[in-house]
A and B are shown apart, each in its own frame.
Chain A
Amino acid sequence: MDFDVDSLINGGLAFAAVLSLMILNVPVGISMLFVGFVGFALISGFDPAIVVLGFAPYEAVSKYSLSVMPLFVLMGNLANSANLSRNLYDAAYAVVGHFKGGLAMSTIGACAGFGMICGSSIATAATMAQMAGPEMKRHGYSDALASGSIASGGTLGIIIPPSVMIVIYAYLTEQSIQALFFAALIPAVIAVVLYMLAIRLYLFIYPDQGGHGIKMPLAERVSAIRKVLPIFSIFVIIMTGLYLGFFTATESAAVGVMLVILLIMFRGELTVKLLKEATWTTIKTVGSLYLIVAGASVFNFLLTVTGLPFTVVEFINYLDLSPLGIILLICIIYLILGTLMDSLAMLFLTIPVFYPVIVAAGIDPIWFGIFAIIVVEFGLVSPPIGMNLFVIKGVMQDTPLKTIWFGTIPFLITDVIRVALIIAFPAICLYLPSLMYS
């Protein structure tokens, strides 16, 4: 064996300590801060540890590339406060609502639309649960299909740009946010199509679990679609601006915020109350997200002094795994962690270790970013701590958690198919970024 066993043990202990603290209900950020600080102090001494604690969290949270995150969260919250999600749902309903399973498909469509302006899976699931849940129940949809489609549709929020998870991956690996946003587009479209197919197939097997809505007259359908055109325009402006290099990711987020404010103003709905509500929610999210960023910055110092990322690379070399073997191994680790850990924590904890491994194995980092985010998505709908499951449960309180989880199974199967597709055809992720660079 030509790798440092001590480093593997020290790093492994650090991970075990963070996991244990998280299981004991300690906030993710505090768990990482504590283990990072104490571990670093034990290895390098108290004074260097205090120095790290004094500047690493500030350095991490003030990174320019990360400032895109609160701005996109603000954009999503503004859209949410202005009830733009209702328009998205109505438009999706106008297009597919009259088909068998149309309401569930509308939910998926609306989730995808909402994902274009909101980078958070939980926010997407929470917004849609309030709207689509009662609607589907009224039309006789089973609890499983209704809740499953919302929980899974919510996961689209983290793959459709602008996504907070993509920004975090870009921040952790110093990859281009633009390239990652474009890499996510085709997998996101595949996800929407596969989710809709899953609904049709589910209702083919269990025809009594869902019906169809009323077909709207053409004029009403056109009117519903027209109402969401400005939202799509904002998405197109952001993506085109990024593609053409007209602005950076942070600038695109600021432009997005201002455009959403302008849109709300033109609709005559801009009030101080709305702005206050949106920023208040944003600050609450930002406070908790940034604590994790601060925690990860100190924990990464510990990982660096233990040399764990390099030892893991050496260990993988020792195992002589092929790139596909490495990907499958990472996939299994994510699936196991997903049952225990929040997706955000999973990304922060694992990427600094996995990233050197995939780079050493010659795997494209942009491709890996999309792969990792899709696999991490599984955790959002996996028991026992799938966040989306709890969000849906919070809104649809009379639906048992078991039923919600059962409802997500058809969608999880399509997720597995999607992962298999992007492994088999990496161009699904890499084609659009390659156009950017050419």
Chain B
Amino acid sequence: MNKIVKKAADISAIIACIVLFFLAMLTFFDVFGRRFFNSPITGTIEIVQIGMGLVAFLSMPRAFYLNSHVSADFINGIQIKSFQYFLLFFKFLLMFFMMSFMTYAALLSANSFLKDGRTTIELDLSFYPFFYIISFALFLSMITIIFWFLNTFSEKKNELKGL
């Protein structure tokens, strides 16, 4: 199961990589077309905005799995077993709590966009598919947080054995 979750987080990050590269190329060719051929690519700004939203949320599961989020770790120096377990559990609870609510909130937004049929102005793209993807990415983050916790807990157990 751990491997499957890691693979899913990696696939999500790979999609984010591809989208990011696509956005870089799209923007470059938009500038090139506009400046040299007087023909910009229609809706570039809208695509970049939506694309960046996808990049942001699709890149989160892997960041959670690798625990690469910015945090102040100077309290980690306190080598008291129970305190270290408390820190780990507390961090897990907060991360899980927040990601669960974010998933729920994004899903509600996706449903409401599906209902009211809201679209982008220039390209007339529906918002709801993107919000479903975002809520799925957030759900994946939620799952990776559980596995991050389980992995870190067993590592911590070995690390703190001597204390």
Contact = CB atoms under 8 A, between A and B. Distances in A.
A340 B72 CA distance: 8
Contact of A25 (B50, B55, B75, B102): B75
Interface in A166-184: none
A33 interface: yes
Contacts of B45: 64
B8 interface: no
Interface in A46-89: 50-51, 53-55, 57-58, 61-64, 66-67, 70-71, 74
Contact of B20 (A31, A37, A283, A345): A283
B134 interface: yes
A253 B48 CA distance: 13
A295 B82 CA distance: 29
Interface in B51-77: 52-53, 55-57, 59-64, 66, 68-76
Interface residues of A, number: 62
Given A58-B134, A62-B52, A255-B28, A284 B68 contact: yes
B68 A287 contact: yes
A282 interface: yes
A384 interface: yes
A375 to B, nearest CB: 19
Contacts of A289: 70
Interface stretch (A197-205, A244-252, A359-367): A244-252
A153 interface: no
Contacts of A232: none
A288 interface: yes
Interface in A280-324: 280, 282-284, 286-294
Contacts of A63: 49, 52
B90 interface: yes
Contact of A50 (B31, B98, B104, B134): B104
A119 to B, nearest CB: 15
B101 interface: yes
Interface in B1-25: 13, 16-17, 20-21, 23-25
Given A283-B17, A291-B63, A342-B70, A250 B55 contact: no
Nearest to B67: A27
Interface string B93-110: 011011001101110110
B78 to A, nearest CB: 10
A423 interface: no
Given A53-B102, A61-B56, A28 B71 contact: yes
A329 interface: no
A284 B66 CA distance: 9
B62 to A, nearest CB: 6
Given A53-B101, A283-B13, A286-B55, A22 B94 contact: no
A24 interface: yes
A30 interface: yes
A187 interface: no
B157 interface: no
A21 B94 contact: yes
A279 B106 CA distance: 26
Nearest to A50: B105
A37 B106 contact: no
B91 interface: yes
Interface in A247-293: 247, 250-251, 253-255, 257-258, 275-276, 279-280, 282-284, 286-293
Contacts of B25: 254, 258
Contacts of A27: 69-71, 91, 95
A250 B97 contact: no
Contact of A385 (B24, B56, B72, B131): B72
Contact of B52 (A25, A31, A67, A279): A67
B87 interface: yes
Contact of B72 (A247, A253, A279, A341): A341
Given A58-B109, A286-B56, 6 more contacts: A58-B53, A61-B52, A67-B48, A284-B62, A284-B68, A287-B64
8 contacts: A22-B72, A25-B75, A31-B94, A33-B98, A33-B102, A34-B97, A54-B108, A64-B48
Interface of B: 13, 16-17, 20-21, 23-28, 30-31, 35, 45, 48-50, 52-53, 55-57, 59-64, 66, 68-76, 87, 90-91, 94-95, 97-98, 101-102, 104-106, 108-109, 131, 134
The 6 residue pairs across chains A and B that have the minimum distance between CB atoms = A287-B63, A254-B27, A54-B105, A287-B59, A27-B69, A62-B53
